[in-house]
Structure 1
């Protein structure tokens, strides 16, 4: 079945295959506010992005900082035009898909939509079935949880999937030590049986 706008399998969002690709990402960790964790993003010899570093739970002398031990990357917002900041419309797709090779650490996937507060994120665990091997992880958009400043909000709101501004990955397990995750690409995707939030019925020509 073709939808009103035509069924599409995927919408590429971000790739991490060239140095130019990596320039479209921002890196952050608690070192930015005086902590001791370190995080970097590099291009591997195989042409994949590698987000890696070392997590430290040591607190700086600044007593206003009561928690450390985090690291994250996110895609940079695209340059604004007279019509506003360009966003991705993922409403015709059911999943956010990531091609990754991770370790045994725990990660979150983060989505920022066109909301008033920069701290508002939709988050979901990046469950890796085969650490150390490449795998494609597909997360239904509807399964993301609305958070602000890292806290799950009591009043959950639906993701504004027509206006996604950034996507990213963050480290969630506050354990000291090294981490490393390689990322090939991030896309909005359908399976052969889905068209956004609707189940797709094959047309007669497909059945034949």
Structure 2
């Protein structure tokens, strides 16, 4: 209870400071840093999962390399667990943990003034997905998009337009597509479900919401 009240006081103080700085009147911004994976302390902000959680045989890990970047890696196995109710297996995922709530709710990122989600990554030739969870009514809803790597084995910045993410629920694309609540992005994650046995490795340095010099959210800059 004490930590909840302390978080509430911290959020109130932060909101007051933003109001005094008139953050909402600052206008165009190039970047909103969201997540980084550079230190062992950063690992505490992430959760890891795989089909091993339901009796499967995939292995997944997240650690910091000697180059001080995060590495999501392991081995995907399509082998089914003994439970006859499980009809398919073979997945691994990481996601940022939702930040601790207060009386003002769960802290979220307001990405509404940015056009792209930018990920600084270096990966292999596996087919990864990027997952966004918003602070919406249905907690199992995820907005997903392929993480297209143009140069596997080399560092690159992948920029995905927020409006290109597709609404899914439990892995199924939803017939009724609802626009992402971009003012309340709660978590960001990466998953692997490409139905291929074998090792995988994806290094992640940073995740941000960004504009280019020609964009201001979904509007084009006229300068």
Check whether TM > 0.5. Answer: yes
Matched, 1:173 2:191: no
The residue correspondences of 1:41-120 to structure 2 (distance < 5 A) are: 41-120=62-141
Paired with 2:124 and 2:34, the residues of 1 have a C-alpha distance of 23
TM-score by length of 1: 0.94
Unaligned runs of 5+ in 1: 203-208
Paired with 1:185 and 1:172, the residues of 2 have a C-alpha distance of 22
Give 1:4 shift.
Answer: 5.6
Give 1:118 shift.
Answer: 2.2
Paired with 2:90 and 2:160, the residues of 1 have a C-alpha distance of 26
Unaligned runs of 5+ in 2: 1-23
Q: 2:44 aligns to what?
A: 23
Matched, 1:127 2:148: yes
Structure 1 residue ranges (4+ consecutive) displaced by more than 4 angstroms after TM superposition: none
Q: 195, 199, 206: which one pairs with 2:220?
A: 199
Q: 1:206 aligns to what?
A: none
- In terms of fraction of residues, the more helix-rich structure is 2
Give 1:117 shift.
Answer: 2.1
Instruction: Kindly provide the CA deviation profile for residues 93-129 of structure 1, in whole angstroms up to 9, marking residues without a partner as x.
Output: 0000000000010000000001122210000000000
> Could you say what secondary structure the match of 1:162 adopts?
helix
Paired with 1:104 and 1:50, the residues of 2 have a C-alpha distance of 15
Paired with 1:113 and 1:173, the residues of 2 have a C-alpha distance of 24
> Could you say what secondary structure the match of 1:188 adopts?
strand
Paired with 1:176 and 1:117, the residues of 2 have a C-alpha distance of 32
Paired with 2:195 and 2:63, the residues of 1 have a C-alpha distance of 23
